[in-house]
């Protein structure tokens, strides 16, 4: 497997994103809503670097299942969300691919009446986006390749890799 983004590069960029987020929110408490399951590594590393008061919520959304390398029908699982009404919310996902999942989730969270809503992604796959969504925070722009590691999987494998790699085959 070819390493696309090393563990060191990821940690450096997460620290930079955390600094920007702290600067943007100052002392305001924020609620970070992580999209399961791919965002877990990013979520854990990011919140450890935030100096602001943080609440964590989770939502499950998936358009890749099993051995699929192309998105299928979007499925939203049970939500583990705190009350978001009047809160500053940061929706956090592992990858912005076509944009369909994140766009749907943005609209879903907006209906919950947050005070503000921003979007952060670790990766943005170039050339695949079909929905006009501009993330407020983006770790890395990557080529249109199927990637795994640092939370991203193929058939529930490779999430534990400390780097992002291009899956062979």
Write the pLDDT tens digit of every residue in 84-122.
Answer: 999 999 999 999 998 888 998 999 899 999 999 999 999
Would strands 164-166 and 2-5 be described as parallel, antiparallel, or unpaired? antiparallel
Of residues 74 and 158, the one with the higher pLDDT is 158
Two tokens at 71? 């998105």
Residue 5's pLDDT is: 97
Q: What is the pLDDT of residue 78?
A: 46
Q: Which of the following is catalytic: 94, 97, 136, 168? A: 97
Q: Please compute the mean of the pLDDT values over residues 124-137 and round it to a whole number.
A: 89
Q: What is the pTM of this model?
A: 0.88
How far does CA 31 lie from the centroid of its chain? 14
Using CB atoms within 10 Å of the CB of residue 54, give its burial: 0 to 12 exposed, 13 to 18 middle, 19+ buried: middle
Please choose, from the candidates 149, 146, 154, the residue with its C-alpha nearest in 3D space to the C-alpha of residue 66.
154
Distances from the Cα of 107 to the Cαs of 36, 47, 69, 166, 169, in angstroms? 17, 24, 25, 31, 35
- Mean pLDDT (whole number) for 122-132: 88
Does 97 qualify as catalytic in the annotation? yes
| Average pLDDT for the chain | 89
Catalogue all structural domains in the chain, each as residue range(s) with its CATH number: 2-63+74-142 (3.40.50.2020)
Tokens of 9: 């590069």
- Give the model's confidence band at 63: pLDDT under 50 very low, under 70 low, under 90 confident, else very high: low
């Amino acid at each position: 497997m070819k390493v696309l983004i090393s563990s060191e590069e990821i940690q450096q960029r997460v620290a930079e994103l955390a600094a920007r987020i702290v600067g943007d929110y100052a002392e305001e408490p924020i609620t970070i809503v992580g999209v399961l399951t791919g965002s877990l590594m990013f979520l854990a590393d990011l919140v450890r670097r935030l100096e602001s008061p943080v609440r964590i919520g989770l939502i499950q959304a998936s358009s890749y299942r099993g051995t699929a390398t192309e998105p299928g029908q979007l499925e939203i699982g049970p939500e583990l969300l705190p009350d978001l009404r009047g809160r500053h919310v940061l929706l956090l996902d592992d990858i912005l691919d076509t944009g369909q999942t994140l766009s749907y989730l943005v609209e879903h969270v907006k209906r919950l009446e947050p005070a503000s809503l921003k979007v952060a992604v670790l990766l943005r796959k170039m050339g695949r986006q079909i929905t006009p969504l501009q993330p407020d925070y983006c770790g890395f722009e990557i080529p249109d390749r199927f990637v795994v590691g640092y939370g991203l999987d193929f058939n529930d494998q490779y999430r534990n890799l400390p780097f992002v790699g291009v899956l062979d085959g």
